[in-house]
Amino acid sequence: PQRRGGSGRMPRFKVGQAVRHERFGSGVVTAVEAKEDDVYVTVAFPTAGERTFASSLLAGKMVAVRKRSPA
- Please state the pTM of the whole predicted model: 0.78
Domain residue ranges in the chain: 18-59
Determine the pLDDT at residue 70. Answer: 63
- Tell me the average confidence (pLDDT) per consecutive run of 10 residues in the chain, 71 residues long: 46 91 97 94 97 92 81 61
3-state secondary structure (DSSP) of residue 44: strand
Rounded CA separation 41/27 (Å): 12
Q: What angle do CA 14, 57, 44 make, to 5 degrees?
A: 45
